[in-house]
Amino acid sequence: MKRFLVLAPLAACLSVPDGPAPECKVTSDCDTANGEVCDEGICYGNPPPGPFAALVSPPSERKNDVVSREVELLAIPADGYLGDVALDAPVTYTGQIRAFCPAPSDCTDISLGATITVTRPSIFQGGPTYRQVVTTEPRTGLFQLVVPRTRDIDQPYTITVIPEGRGDEPDMGITPAQLVPPLRTELRIADNETGKTLDLGGITLTTIDGKVTNSAGVGQGSYRVVALGRWDETSPVTEVSTVVYTGNDGQFALRLSAGLQGSVEIVAKPYGDPLQPTLHANVSSGGVSGKSLVAPANLGQPTTVDIKVKGTATGGEIKAVNGARVTVAGIVPGAAPGSTVATFVTEVTTGEDGIASVTMLNGTAIKSSYRVSIIPPANSTLGILFDSPLVLGEDPDRTLPERIALVGRVIDVDGKPLNDVQVTVRPSLRFQWSLDTLPQAFVSAIPAATTVTPDTGEFVVYVDPFLKDGSEDVWGYYDLSFEPTATSNAPTFTEFDVEIPRDTNQSSVPLADIYLPDAAHIHGRITDPFGNVVEGAELKVFRIEDFASLTLCSDVPHAPASCPIPAQLLGRGASDDVGIVRLTLPRP
Amino acid sequence: MIPPSLSVDNQDAGVNSPPAILAVRSDDQELPEPGPVLFEVGRGMLNAELIDTDLQDTLFVRVFVDYTIDKATAPRVLCTASPTGNAQRTVTCSLNALCLRPDDIGQTRLMSIKVFDREPLESGDPAFQAMPEGGLSTGKFFQLQCQDLPQ
């Protein structure tokens, strides 16, 4: 009896934070006309119209016994239950890399350390690329790939082997990267395979030799020399040769990877002292002998400039900007086509005093070419500065412009303001691909701004209204993503391509209320290939777009030729300890 | 008899539990520690599964690249997980500024993903990671590799 007397008042005081009220108790509480059923207090079903694609991926601790699986044209039943969604059994590809060097080099005793990158495009357009990165065992070159099986409908894997030892400065001893170039090949892996070999180097590879000199023709040491090129027309520019660290004679001999497209760019980047520019020259990937990379004359001496970055705080006072990334770049163009171009690029982050101390060369050849670009820290109310001339001897300090405020309110499907929604704003593809290469790279480096809505559902995020690309102002477009909490019964939602009004006097842009769509709940169970449930696996559902109807890449001047627009992710969820995964999708 | 309160929604102001990162997922996989992990310049999302037994704490995720005390760099990615009433929660972060062109291409960097239970301050020590007194943080570390987008 005594025990009862203690427990009774205890139970009366037990208090748990309120969770979301159940949506339903029985199925008749749901929209049965559209197939909804009540389960776990949630009305599941009535999914948005497809078509969809899905990707189910394993938890990292299971990566050796199950692998991800893509499902195209995923059908979502009216009751929202996907049934069992199975991960795939992997295939393994076990092998060894081998290095072959032409005489007089000797690869017999070198380390065989390398990074192997495995990629494959998604089976649905815009879907996430399959990626895996493994490293070889340095003594033996042994490696093992554990990957999804290549089916008839799949493209082959692209395998890129990058030998180790490509640092900005030389390591102790000779590294694999100095002896053999990277390797690119394709593999279909339909079954387990063992005892395979990937051969790096060889005696038939093209070579480019030459010398890094100063303007007087004297060889220059302490340069890292490498060739940049492409494996194919759509691949990005990457390092495609052995790496040479020049000695005092400045001599280099690069061995190019096989199978390159087009010309290559030789890049000689200095390390250590004295301060020097980076040298660039384009050459044929068919091989060149006696190529000289010549540093220009009149580069001057190192000089340190303190650039103070400041801006107007919200209270109106001028304050130093902490954490801004300051990049200073100078260039000495080549005297003739094909001759050496010299560049100088340095990057410094400002401290609490707002100062970036930048060491530059002060000679007449380069000093009038310096430009400074500044990216303020994430979520700053201050804006970017791109490609602003920096004249040595003049005031180096920079005042950042104020950003424009995007002001809005998030409303749920019942018309009520929604709190605790993470709002993220980033430059849209339309904005990025409206810009030429350098400003495009600059814009892509601006961290996304975020905020969280209070009880009023209101939000304010600050963005750069435009970017000056040469003489033209390219006005911004931004994607605004809204991520409610998992307990809010609202889906994630993205408002694409919000256009900034072409008005330089505007400090804020009031947006129309953002109405989050109705939520469609779906669920399923993630299993391994044998039907056992898998905890911690993730299911993502994408909308399959009719990409042919999208005109973005023809609307903008600098879209990549492959027009890589990502598929729209509608929802994602991780499986619980009984394998159940729950997703919330937006209804149109 | 006055029984002790068993309320879980009123935190003891003197005791703070650290937040933790349970899992980090990219667009195509859960990231295995310590990597290497591969990202493309200018795109991608990161989904962090977090836990904090202080149910009222807002959690702040910051992603740093090659951050050291001697050369402190500002976070390249930030996102915020609001309280949900549950210890576990997830948040999605935009990775558009994680990889920078051209410096990060082809290099191996150290990516640290940290979760803070107080908002990191604009100034203080360690730079960009200092919090109001009592704040706690934990993190995960990955070898980061970056590649450019297809042409």
A84: pLDDT strictly greater than 50: yes
A451/A21: higher pLDDT: A451
What is the model's pLDDT at position A174?
Answer: 86
Contact B91, B102 (CB under 8 A): no
A310: pLDDT strictly greater than 60: yes
Domains defined along chain A, listed by start:
22-87+521-586 (no CATH), 90-201 (2.60.40.1120), 207-294 (2.60.40.1120), 302-399 (2.60.40), 404-517 (2.60.40.10)
What is the model's pLDDT at position B11?
Answer: 47
Q: For residue A7, what pLDDT band results from cuts at 50, 70 and 90?
A: very low
The beta-carbon neighbor of B150 closest among A128, A166, A235 is: A235
Contact A433, A346 (CB under 8 A): no
A238 chain-B contacts, CB cut-off 8 A: 105-106, 147-148
The beta-carbon neighbor of B35 closest among A133, A325, A426 is: A133
CA A122 to chain centre: 17
DSSP notation for A476-511:
-EEEEEEE--TTSS---EEEEEEEPPS-TT-SEEEP
Determine whether the interchain pair B127/A323 forms a contact, defined as Cβ–Cβ distance below 8 Å: yes
The beta-carbon neighbor of A238 closest among B5, B90, B106 is: B106
Determine whether the interchain pair B123/A352 forms a contact, defined as Cβ–Cβ distance below 8 Å: yes
What's the rounded Cα separation, in Å, for the pair A187 and A349? 43
A51: pLDDT strictly greater than 70: yes
What's the rounded Cα separation, in Å, for the pair A277 and A282? 17
Determine whether the interchain pair A128/B28 forms a contact, defined as Cβ–Cβ distance below 8 Å: yes
Residue A371 backbone dihedrals phi, psi, to 5 degrees: -130, 145
Give A197-242 pLDDT, tens digit per residue. 999 988 888 899 999 999 999 999 999 999 999 998 888 889 999 9
Give B62-104 pLDDT, tens digit per residue. 999 999 988 888 999 999 999 988 999 999 999 999 998 888 8
Determine whether the interchain pair A377/B74 forms a contact, defined as Cβ–Cβ distance below 8 Å: yes
End-to-end CA distance of chain B: 75
What is the model's pLDDT at position A22?
Answer: 84
Among A2, A56, A125, A131, pick the best mutation site for testing chain B contact (most B Cβ within 10 A).
A131
**E strands, A398-492, where?**
398-399, 404-411, 422-427, 449-452, 458-463, 466-469, 472-475, 477-483
Give A295-308 pLDDT, tens digit per residue. 999 999 999 999 99
A49: pLDDT strictly greater than 70: yes
Among B49, B50, B60, B96, pick the best mutation site for testing chain A contact (most A Cβ within 10 A).
B96
The beta-carbon neighbor of B29 closest among A68, A347, A446 is: A68
pLDDT over 70, % of chain B:
90
Determine whether the interchain pair A448/B45 forms a contact, defined as Cβ–Cβ distance below 8 Å: no
Residue A33 to chain B, least CA–CA distance (Å):
32
User: What is the C-alpha radius of gyration for chain B, rounded to an integer number of angstroms?
Assistant: 17
> What pTM, to 2 d.p., does this model score?
0.88
Residue A299 to chain B, least CA–CA distance (Å):
23
What is the model's pLDDT at position A545?
Answer: 75
Task: Tell me the fold of B20-120+139-147.
Answer: Immunoglobulin-like (2.60.40)
> In the predicted model, what is the mean pLDDT of chain A?
89
Determine whether the interchain pair B100/A424 forms a contact, defined as Cβ–Cβ distance below 8 Å: no
What is the model's pLDDT at position A431?
Answer: 94
B135/A105: higher pLDDT: B135
Residue A487 to chain B, least CA–CA distance (Å):
6
A3: pLDDT strictly greater than 70: no
Residue A131 to chain B, least CA–CA distance (Å):
7
Q: Average pLDDT in the A318-346 region?
A: 91
What is the model's pLDDT at position A13?
Answer: 46
Please give the ipTM for the structure prediction: 0.87
B33 chain-A contacts, CB cut-off 8 A: 60
What lies within 8 Å, CB to CB, of A35 at 6+ separation is: A45, A46, A77, A78, A79, A80
A9: pLDDT strictly greater than 80: no
Which of A56, A44, A50 has the alpha carbon at shortest distance from A74? A50
B1/A259: higher pLDDT: A259
Determine whether the interchain pair A487/B83 forms a contact, defined as Cβ–Cβ distance below 8 Å: no
Q: Average pLDDT in the B25-50 region?
A: 90
End-to-end CA distance of chain A: 59
> In the predicted model, what is the mean pLDDT of chain B?
87
Give the strand pairing for A207-213 and A288-294: parallel
What is the model's pLDDT at position A209?
Answer: 92
What lies within 8 Å, CB to CB, of B145 at 6+ separation is: A115, A117, A133, B35, B36, B37, B38, B39, B106, B107, B108, B109
Low-confidence winner among A381-385, A454-458, A548-552 (lowest mean pLDDT): A548-552
What is the model's pLDDT at position A202?
Answer: 82
Q: How many CB atoms lie within 10 A of CB A315?
A: 6
B77 chain-A contacts, CB cut-off 8 A: 378, 447-448
B120 chain-A contacts, CB cut-off 8 A: none
B23 chain-A contacts, CB cut-off 8 A: 59-60, 536, 574
What's the rounded Cα separation, in Å, for the pair A564 and A553? 9
The beta-carbon neighbor of A446 closest among B23, B27, B97 is: B97
Q: For residue A547, what pLDDT band results from cuts at 50, 70 and 90?
A: low
Among A1, A6, A118, A133, pick the best mutation site for testing chain B contact (most B Cβ within 10 A).
A133
A250: pLDDT strictly greater than 90: yes
A5 chain-B contacts, CB cut-off 8 A: 1
A56/A550: higher pLDDT: A56
Q: Average pLDDT in the A328-346 region?
A: 90
Q: How many CB atoms lie within 10 A of CB A197?
A: 9
A315/A153: higher pLDDT: A153
B108: pLDDT strictly greater than 70: yes
Give A251-298 pLDDT, tens digit per residue. 999 999 999 988 999 999 999 888 899 999 998 877 788 888 999 999
Among B10, B22, B26, B27, pick the best mutation site for testing chain A contact (most A Cβ within 10 A).
B27
Find, in chain B, the residue whose alpha carbon is nearest to that of A19.
Answer: B85
Find, in chain A, the residue whose alpha carbon is nearest to that of B97.
Answer: A445
Among A349, A353, A425, pick the best mutation site for testing chain B contact (most B Cβ within 10 A).
A349
A8/A570: higher pLDDT: A570
A321: pLDDT strictly greater than 60: yes
Q: Any idea where the domains of chain B sit in the sequence?
A: 20-120+139-147
Determine whether the interchain pair A574/B90 forms a contact, defined as Cβ–Cβ distance below 8 Å: yes
What is the model's pLDDT at position A1?
Answer: 33
Q: Average pLDDT in the A432-438 region?
A: 90
Establish, for the pair of chains A and B, how many residue pairs have beta carbons separated by less than 8 Å: 206
Residue A210 to chain B, least CA–CA distance (Å):
24
Determine whether the interchain pair A560/B149 forms a contact, defined as Cβ–Cβ distance below 8 Å: yes
A14 chain-B contacts, CB cut-off 8 A: 6-7
Contact A224, A230 (CB under 8 A): no
Q: Average pLDDT in the A518-525 region?
A: 95
A570: pLDDT strictly greater than 70: yes
What's the rounded Cα separation, in Å, for the pair A157 and A146? 12
A570 chain-B contacts, CB cut-off 8 A: none
A10: pLDDT strictly greater than 50: no
Q: For residue A548, what pLDDT band results from cuts at 50, 70 and 90?
A: low
E strand or H helix that includes residue A65: none
Determine whether the interchain pair B85/A487 forms a contact, defined as Cβ–Cβ distance below 8 Å: yes
Determine whether the interchain pair B41/A444 forms a contact, defined as Cβ–Cβ distance below 8 Å: yes
A337/B88: higher pLDDT: B88
Q: For residue A566, what pLDDT band results from cuts at 50, 70 and 90?
A: confident
The beta-carbon neighbor of A450 closest among B40, B80, B148 is: B80
Among A132, A433, A464, pick the best mutation site for testing chain B contact (most B Cβ within 10 A).
A132
Give A415-431 pLDDT, tens digit per residue. 999 999 999 999 999 99
Q: How many CB atoms lie within 10 A of CB A580?
A: 15
What is the model's pLDDT at position B104?
Answer: 87
Low-confidence winner among A194-198, A325-329, B63-67 (lowest mean pLDDT): A194-198
What's the rounded Cα separation, in Å, for the pair B126 and B129? 5
A113 chain-B contacts, CB cut-off 8 A: none
